[in-house]
Amino acid sequence: MRVLLDESVPRQLGPRLAGHQVVTVPRAGWAGLRNGELLRRASGQFDVLVTGDQNLEYQQNLRGLQLAVVVVVAPNNRVETFLALSERILAAIASAQPGAVARVAAS
């Protein structure tokens, strides 16, 4: 799958998502875009957006997008926190459906 890592997600997570083509928002040239514009641009170009923005699903209409969203619910956005959740994130990516949100929570 083509996975886009939002700016709220440490880029070091990318190598842990083996088997997927991973690009960060800054690498795609989309740093600083508002969520709605980011979703529109990513839809169709990526299969999944991984974000730490827990409000995204409530602020944006995801229906009709050709993009799934994985929201990581973590106490912080430190690299270690996200790396510890990498297996759960991989599982969420594997079952992701366009227009739907999957939440991955720290225990």
| pLDDT values of the chain reduced to their tens digit, one per residue, 107 residues | 999 999 999 999 999 999 999 999 999 999 999 999 999 999 999 999 999 999 888 888 788 899 999 999 999 989 999 999 999 999 999 999 999 999 999 86
Contacts of 101 (CB under 8 A, 6+ apart): 56, 57, 62, 68, 69, 70, 71
Domain count across the chain: 1
Eight-class DSSP state of 56: H
Q: What is the pTM of this model?
A: 0.95
Per residue in 56-71, is it b (16+ CB within 10 Å) or e — as a string? bbeebebeebebbbbb
CA pair distance 55, 73, nearest whole angstrom: 10
Residue span of the structural domain in which 9 resides: 2-105
CATH code at position 9: 3.40.50
In this structure, which amino acid lies at residue 66? Q
